[in-house]
Amino acid sequence: MTSIDTGIREFLESRVEAAKAKDIDRLMSHYSPGIVYYDVVPPLRFAGTDEVRGNFVRWFDGYDGPISLQTHDLDVAVSGDVAFAHMLHLDSGKRTNGLETSIWVRSTVGCRRSNGAWLITHEHISLPIDMETLRAWFPPEV
């Protein structure tokens, strides 16, 4: 692993730590002003930091306390000032309705480096859908 790899991996880890802590300012510091974000929830895309921030706050507000976010099967590609990564997240916690939930999501992150600092310019989070029922699909216990 090169030092560049280490840098982007630390950056991605910092993204997850900020989300787990529901620290919106620290989390938003990872995103480019031009961020284009495809989330689990509608609409098709969120564009710019105002829309993305509002959507993160909505997500945080759904949890009573911190969010547990495990990262699995991380893979990172980096060359020069562009990188992308994909991973699975197991997103768990106590919802504000009192229920404990645990959901596997797929996560893809695209980054560019400017003046030595990485920023996320694109992110894509989703669940699979059963196209017969048009309902979200959840894996059996893994």
* List of residues contacting a copy of itself (CB under 8 A): 36, 38-45, 73, 75, 77-84, 86, 88, 104, 106, 108, 110, 112, 121-122, 124, 126-131, 134-137, 139
Q: Which is nearer to a copy of itself, 25 or 73 (CB)?
A: 73
129/142 Cα distance (integer angstroms)? 18
The torsion region of residue 14 among left (phi > 0), alpha (psi -120 to 50) and beta comes to: alpha
Q: Which is nearer to a copy of itself, 26 or 113 (CB)?
A: 113
142/137 Cα distance (integer angstroms)? 14
CB of 32 to a copy of itself, least distance (A): 11
CB of 23 to a copy of itself, least distance (A): 23
Q: Which is nearer to a copy of itself, 86 or 94 (CB)?
A: 86
Burial class (CB in 10 A: 0-12, 13-18, 19+), 35: buried
Q: Which is nearer to a copy of itself, 3 or 79 (CB)?
A: 79
Look up residue 4 and give its two tokens: 């560049």
CB of 47 to a copy of itself, least distance (A): 9
Strand 46-47 relative to strand 68-79, pairing? unpaired
